[in-house]
């Protein structure tokens, strides 16, 4: 499969020649949903409401809620959210889940 081989080759190049195995490219929509869930998780752990976050971002609460529910967010907004929560941008971007290993796949 040409398409799959292209992605595997890209990951091998991105890994500076290291074999990164059968990693699959991450789904953009799944990545955005994970970021939104992570933002929500940290916000709740800090006892901050969505209204307070919206106020800090100077946007409507509904617009902030869309971010937590998986609307695409710019890096600029992600940085502002990280600053409000007192974390780094990296802490808001969880790694994609590892592919499940199939039985007998070794």
Q: How many domains does the chain have?
A: 1
11 in any annotated domain: no
Report pLDDT for 24: 61
Burial class (CB in 10 A: 0-12, 13-18, 19+), 86: exposed
Report pLDDT for 84: 97
User: Where in the sequence is the domain holding 34, given as residue range(s)?
Assistant: 28-92
CATH of the domain at 46: 1.10.260.40
14 in any annotated domain: no
Report pLDDT for 102: 66
Q: Which residues contact 80 (CB under 8 A, 6 or more apart)?
A: 56, 57
Average confidence (pLDDT) per 10 residues, the chain, 106 residues: 47 47 72 95 98 98 97 95 97 82 62
Report pLDDT for 51: 98
């Amino acid at each position: 499969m040409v398409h799959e081989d292209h992605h595997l080759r890209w990951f091998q190049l991105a890994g500076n020649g290291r074999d990164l195995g059968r990693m699959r490219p991450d789904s953009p929509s799944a990545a955005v949903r994970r970021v939104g869930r992570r933002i929500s998780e940290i916000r709740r752990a800090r006892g901050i409401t969505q209204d307070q976050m919206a106020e800090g971002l100077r946007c409507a609460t509904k617009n902030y809620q869309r971010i937590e529910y998986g609307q695409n967010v710019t890096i600029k907004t992600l940085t502002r959210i990280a600053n409000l929560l007192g974390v780094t941008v990296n802490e808001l971007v969880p790694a994609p889940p590892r592919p499940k290993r199939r039985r007998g796949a070794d």
